[in-house]
Amino acid sequence: MEDASANKIFLRFFFIYIIFLVLGAVAVFGIISGQFLTEDKVTTDDIYKEEVLEPSRGSILAYDGSPLAVSIPVYELRWDSKVVADSTFNQGLDSLAMCMSGLFGDKTPAAYRRLLSTARAEGSRYKQIAPRTVDFGELEEIESFPIFRLGQFKGGLIVIKDSERINPYGTLGNRTIGSINAVGEGAGIEYTYDYKLRGKKGMQTVHRALGGEWIPVNGAPSVPAEDGEDIRTTIDVRIQEAAETELRNQLAMSDVFEGGTAIVMDVATGAVRGIANMFKLSNGSFDESYNYAFGHATEPGSTLKLASLMAMIEDGCITLDTEVDGGNGEWRYGGIRITDTHRGGYGKMTAKEAFEKSSNVAFAKMITESYGDDPAAYISRLHNMKLVEKLNLDIDGEAYAYILSPSDAAWSTSSLASLGYGYAVTLTPLHILTLYNAVANGGKMMRPYFIEDFERDGIPVETAGPSVVSGSICSKSTLRDVQEALRGVVENGTAKICNDPRYAIAGKTGTARVAINGRYEDENGYRHYQASFAGYFPADDPKYSCIVVLYTGPTKGNFYGATWAAPVFKRIADKIYASNPGWNAPLHASGMTPPDNPSIASGLAGAEGMPVDYLPMKSRPDTKGKGWISIDSGDETSSPLVSSLMIEKGIVPDVTDMGLKDALFLLENEGYQVSFSGSGRVVSQIPEAGTALAAGHKITLTLK
């Protein structure tokens, strides 16, 4: 019995030993497998990762530094419904729905309550809850709403930062400023210079902290993002506004117009100060969706008579006093019928009078008599004027200019006569304006351009600027003759509407039929016209050149440059004249003189400097091209002292003593939200200059 009991006890302990041995083996195997045989479920990628740092897109600026297109931070709102406790959701739902409805105004509180309840019932973890992106100020308000105020991990609010491109001047200059979409398609400056505006992405290593937040790893290699460059254009906001407003108003006067363009150029440099393109939409309004100015080449008509007159005088074929017979206003040549608009014709007249009256018959006769034996000589002369020279513009989209040549298959007996009054050649309005600008500029043809320089923090890093196409398009004597003829058009001819006793205008009207599918008139008698006027002002000392071209749809009526385009030119010129202090002597109150040491506001000194550069002072500081500066006016014994302002990302700049325009531009360009009170100059700012503050935060200014 004792042996049996002992055996039973031994067997029990043996089985227990075997069980523990097996359990131990399993535990050891599990440890070995976990360490060496099984992949970790938590990897270094769950703890560390490379984070891309997005750069800020550069701004597009007007000639004086005013912002035309800027990027501002915006935020998209999503919601993780599963992290919110039941009690928190039930208690705060009604209040949150009311707050959302009050802020966005697109839904009732009940609709927002349904939206949030449905998302929670579905277990949504990334629900879009706002109808649009919000700015920083709105985000701060939203983060104080019930439930959301608990943060991402208890309230579920997910904030995705993005940026939005805005134009502070609305639609002003839309076609020139342009756009670019997510796949790289676009137009204008935004598209052409995307590689400069977008900047370069950076990189930093981040690790997951307690609570799930990702923070940078100290000492780890990083590459900071390089913000895009700002682009300062040639556009003068006042001139751009004048061109767009007057063009749109004129087009709205007749339903037959399909669109038009107006371009204003600086005579001395070729800088485009204003460029408007208006295209009629289906609802009858106009927008800048089509590039007429330099993307649309047509036969220009009578504005090209300037080139014909210049060529014939330069080659010694005629003078302004050469007599030509316009007859009864009708002449057949080479199988075509050439007519003048004046019923009964102009009879005999001088070449100058033919130019002033814009006689097609006279110019067809003069050009065929001058070059009938050698048409190629005339074509060569036009090429020597650089008339169809590729302009190589600094914005994409230039259309192809072309002159029909005797070697072309399309050349016919009538082609030379057609060339004499502006047909058998296709040019864009900007090509025509470049020729007129050269006449205004003493014969020097300047290349039109839109970009002054590329900048960082207001300091130019690359200069574009003017360039010469041709040093001389004709002799000085020929130039004087054509300048006289252009002035005669306004004084005595078809553009008398532009004559003004305050300042002289010189230019030429143009009317042309536009060929559609190779025909100037369809089977029902409908035609397309373009009415134009090109010129410059003041004629005795030209500052600006300008062209206006209006395009009609199918019509049986007539639309002349003198009637439709010239008035637009005149109104644009009037606005420029009225706003240009250089054409009017400054007024001073009787018995008063400007102070020798005026108090000068801080601000941005561009390529043209600041107003202080033109004040009557004993000792004037040089501010041109110095960027953001402050000026100590000094006293009677000292000269004004110019100091550069330090502009550093993430550090609040000093805007005290600036006007509101400069202060807003600088702070908003650095990504800050700005509020202000008062008027005058900035006397205080909160936070103070030098404070470390990330983009998106608010700065409050007091002006006095």
Read off the pLDDT of residues 224-256 as tens digits, 9 standing for 90 and up: 888 899 999 999 999 999 999 999 999 999 899
Q: H or E segment at 12?
A: helix 2-32
Q: Kindly report the CA angle at 22 between 21 and 26, in degrees rounded to 5? A: 120
> SS3 of 472, please?
coil
Residues 6+ away with beta carbon under 8 Å from 353: 346, 492
Residue 686: strand pairing partners: 700
Q: What is the DSSP string of 16-27?
A: HHHHHHHHHHHH
- The pLDDT value recorded for residue 6 is 65
- Would you give the distance in Å from CA 118 to the centre of its chain? 44
Question: Could you report how far apart the first and last alpha carbons of the chain are, in Å?
Answer: 114
Which residues in the chain land under pLDDT 50? 40, 585-589, 592
Residue 299: strand pairing partners: none
Task: Indicate if the alpha-carbon torsion angle 669, 672, 675, 676 is positive or negative.
Answer: negative
Strand 230-233 with 60-61, pairing? parallel
Give the C-alpha separation, 526 to 517, whole Å: 13
Which of 580, 622, 582 minimizes the C-alpha distance to 605?
A: 622
Give the C-alpha separation, 509 to 570, whole Å: 12
Report residue 340 as tokens: 């003048």
Give the C-alpha separation, 223 to 616, whole Å: 49
Give pLDDT tens digits for 376-410: 999 999 999 999 999 999 999 999 999 999 999 99
Report residue 309 as tokens: 């007159």
Strand 528-537 with 544-552, pairing? antiparallel
- The pLDDT value recorded for residue 592 is 47
- The pLDDT value recorded for residue 703 is 83
- The pLDDT value recorded for residue 667 is 83
* Spatial contact of 265 and 437, defined as CB atoms under 8 Å apart: yes
Single-letter residue type at 247 = L
User: Residue 560 half-sphere exposure, CB side, CA atoms within 13 Å?
Assistant: 12
Other C-beta atoms within 10 Å of 23: how many? 10
- Residue 171 phi, psi (nearest 5): -90, 5
- The pLDDT value recorded for residue 212 is 57
Which of 621, 667, 665 minimizes the C-alpha distance to 644?
A: 621
Report residue 486 as tokens: 């252009």
- The pLDDT value recorded for residue 643 is 75
> SS3 of 499, please?
coil
- The pLDDT value recorded for residue 414 is 94
Q: Kindly report the CA angle at 421 between 418 and 423, in degrees rounded to 5? A: 50
